[in-house]
Amino acid sequence: MSLDISRPDLVVGVVGTGAMGRGIAQVSAQGGIRTIMYDAAPDGAAAARGAIVATMKGLVDKGRLTAEAFAAAERNLEVGETLPALAACHVVIEAVFESLEVKQKLFAELESVVGEATVIASNTSSIRIASIARSLKKRDRVCGMHYFNPVPLMKLVEVIRAAETATWVVDAMVALGKRQTRVPVVVGDTPGFLVNLGGTAIGTEGLRIYTEGRATPSQIDAVMRDAGGFRMGPFELMDLTGIDVNFPARRIIYEGFFHDRRLTPSPYHEGLFHAGKLGRKTGGGWYAYDAKGGKVDPGSDLAVSAAAATKVVAAEQASDKVTALLMAAGTTVVAHDDGESPIIVTPLGDDCTTACVAGGLDPKRTVAIDPTGAVEKRATIMMAPGGDVAVRDAVAAALVAAGTKVTAIKDCPGFVLQRMRAMIANLGCEMAQIGIASPEDVDTAMTLGLNYPQGPLAMADMMGVKDTHAILERLQAITGDDRYRPSQWLRRRAQLGLSATTPE
């Protein structure tokens, strides 16, 4: 069996005309597909059609859509007054309330209406496709088509293949996504699918660093933005999407993978959820928000009034990038300890305490600086317990003189950026390892779905696969926590000197 998505008479049905349903209908109609919308609410589909037409008119006014394309898309949009109006559809995409019972009932009704060759797809973001299709007679023609909001702007669509989904169905839905001008990736039917599962790492590791008392949400977000090139840090992102959305999702994914330590949620996250502090929508979450919805940021820059260090000691294997930055500020960098000057270390995976003990360094004068990321934009520094704050501030002043912002955190294995990037990369490698998606699709989905600067596997390559693996090994050794165990996918490629994207 097969379905030719390029056929000119293709008909797609959309059930549920909320924001997601309207978006799916719009990209279908603009893709030259006859689109029939149905909603159980009286006049719901008609109102949705009017809203879509108004949106497309706005695109014409802005010069983003031609008058001819608008007219064609408007003709493609139809309203079905009853569910049987979808009988002629080649594909039906469900976008109703996120409830297994509701979806199961709807799919059973659809199966009695549409033809045996019709593909029935769900836009669910969290419910297993196999669960939705469980009671149907023809489960092989059921799949997921997980779009992202707002659909017309977010190019990604996850094509979810359940255990019984036929290959021809997956192929047809990939072709449909392309005809809708989306970028399809094929994903296994696992908790969180690809993007929501992959997005777990940035939130849970940010929360872990905060829970350990190593850095504040504002500091973590600033490091991720400035040094890491992320559009948003994890706490900003949680507040934007809503803690009533992301905390339940984290719990579902954690339980769905049988309490894998790498996916462990945080009690602090749960605390905000139960307190009703849900982020921007309630005026408070990880941040407070003013009357206009603007974030009230307590700040993340170390305020320095000390004089810049005129000389520092670069410990063995100190990063050239960091020492060059200090020298640009006029600081002399020497190799031998004079017993007085600040000592600079740039560890990978270790905290300052470990670096001092391993190198036999004076912990009162040793300042650890993260050598990874855009250090010239923001440098993260820390000292071991008992370190001389005046020494830290003198080094910080030299960094500021070189033109970079400085974030001072508590002694922390892997700083902030190393830990965050390594955990993102590790989870991406694990998703490739267990076959949720291909390495290419993992990276495509995470860059398009979450606006990451690189996909997780490309991030491992950028950091260095061996260094990424080493950071995780050090984190696991120092913390004793199994959440940092490296993926076998990453381990093998680190040992062989291969790219993280190397397929099996």
Q: Which of 28, 90, 123, 158 is catalytic?
A: 158
Q: What is the largest CA-CA distance in the chain?
A: 85
Output the CA torsion sign for 495, 496, 502, 503.
negative
**146 is an active site residue:** yes
**269 is an active site residue:** no
Q: What are phi and psi of 14, to 5 degrees?
A: -125, 120
H or E segment and range at residue 327? helix 320-328
Distance separating alpha carbons of residues 289 and 215, to the nearest angstrom: 21
**90 is an active site residue:** no
Q: Which of 146, 205, 246, 469 is catalytic?
A: 146
Q: Which of 76, 123, 196, 426 is catalytic?
A: 196
Whether omega before 150 lies within 30 degrees of 0, making that bond cis, reads yes
Distance separating alpha carbons of residues 347 and 366, to the nearest angstrom: 12
Q: Which of 28, 122, 125, 246 is catalytic?
A: 125
Question: In degrees, to the nearest 5, what angle opens at C-alpha 288 toward C-alphas 379 and 20?
Answer: 95
Give residue for tokens 């970079």: 404
DSSP 137: S
Distance separating alpha carbons of residues 200 and 263, to the nearest angstrom: 7
- Three-state secondary structure call for residue 380: strand
Phi-psi region of 417 (alpha: psi -120 to 50; beta: other; left: phi over 0): alpha
How far apart, in Å, are the Cα atoms of 142 and each of 18, 39, 91, 248?
22, 20, 10, 26
**426 is an active site residue:** no
Residues tagged active-site: 125, 146, 158, 196
